[in-house]
Amino acid sequence: MNVYEAATKRRTVRKFKQDRIQADILKKFVDAARLSPQGANLQALKYIIVTEKTLTDIIFTATSWAGYIRPTHNPQENERPVAYIVPLVDSEIKNTNYDNDAGAAIQTILLTAYEEGIASCWLGAINKEIIKNTLEIPDKYIIHSLIALGYPAESPEVVKVGEDGSIKYYKDESGVLHVPKRCLDDVLIMVK
Ligand SMILES: Cc1cc2nc3c(=O)[nH]c(=O)nc-3n(C[C@H](O)[C@H](O)[C@H](O)COP(=O)(O)O)c2cc1C
């Protein structure tokens, strides 16, 4: 798989097989993320990997899924993520303007995972208090967001943004998630 293929074929997945992911594979994703571009090369991003079932069960309660069609696309009991990576910002290194750094690092994780056949959902709608308390995260770390991981049990499809202009994803009659994306001509303003 080349980078273009990963960048274009990766889709957010919200239904996962219950097969465990080996710790070494998850560590590989973090290893890739640590080499992502970072403003001023400060490298304030730190990570927690969570695979223990007792912990993933609690962290699931801190998540919220597919807001446009909630609750119809919530992972069911046997579809939940089997692992999470929690991207943290070390506030002793940087405590403002870290979203770009986090974005670069997180997308690196999503793509590296995809190459390994592992699906992901980047989650911003999370209860940080539950995550902080469950994982006993020290105060100096800012929980940026959450990455849910697992082998995929659904295959969302890209569609063109419809004539009504809606970018809201939707499920078809067989339950397949369709994700509207703007076409190249709509996003490429000019080539000079
Ligand atoms: C910053 C950010 C936060 C997100 N938060 C959530 C979330 O809380 N819950 C969820 O189900 N999906 C979440 N997503 C996934 C988006 O809904 C998804 O990326 C979008 O619908 C496009 O689908 P695609 O990733 O397959 O291209 C988030 C994505 C990003 C980039």
User: What CATH number corresponds to the domain at position 48?
Assistant: 3.40.109.10
How many whole angstroms from 62 Cα to the centroid of ligand 1? 15
Same domain for 166 and 85: no
Q: Distances from the Cα of 184 to the Cαs of 35, 45, 94, 176, 187, in angstroms?
A: 29, 32, 35, 24, 5
Q: Is 12 in the pocket of ligand 1 (CB under 6 A)?
A: yes
User: What is the per-residue DSSP string for 62-129?
Assistant: TB---GGGTTTTPPPGGGS-SEEEEEEEETTT--SS-HHHHHHHHHHHHHHHHHTT-EEEEE-SB-HH
Query: pLDDT value at position 169?
Result: 98
Tokens of 38: 């970072």
Same domain for 183 and 90: no
- Whole domain around residue 192: which residue ranges? 156-192
- Give the three-class secondary structure for 48: strand
- Give the three-class secondary structure for 136: coil
- Ligand 1 atom nearest 106 alpha carbon: 31
Indicate if the pLDDT at residue 162 is higher than 90.
no
Tokens of 91: 């506030």
**Mean pLDDT calculated for residue range 181-188:** 96
Q: Could you tell me the pLDDT band of residue 160, with boundaries at 50, 70 and 90?
A: very high
How many domains does the chain divide into?
2
Q: For the segment 73-132, what is each residue's pLDDT rounded down to a tens digit?
A: 999 999 999 999 999 999 999 999 999 999 999 999 999 999 999 999 999 999 999 999
Query: pLDDT value at position 33?
Result: 98
How many whole angstroms from 102 Cα to the centroid of ligand 1? 15
Question: H helices then E strands: how many in the chain?
Answer: 6, 8
Q: In 10 A of CB 137, how many CB atoms?
A: 17
Same domain for 177 and 130: no
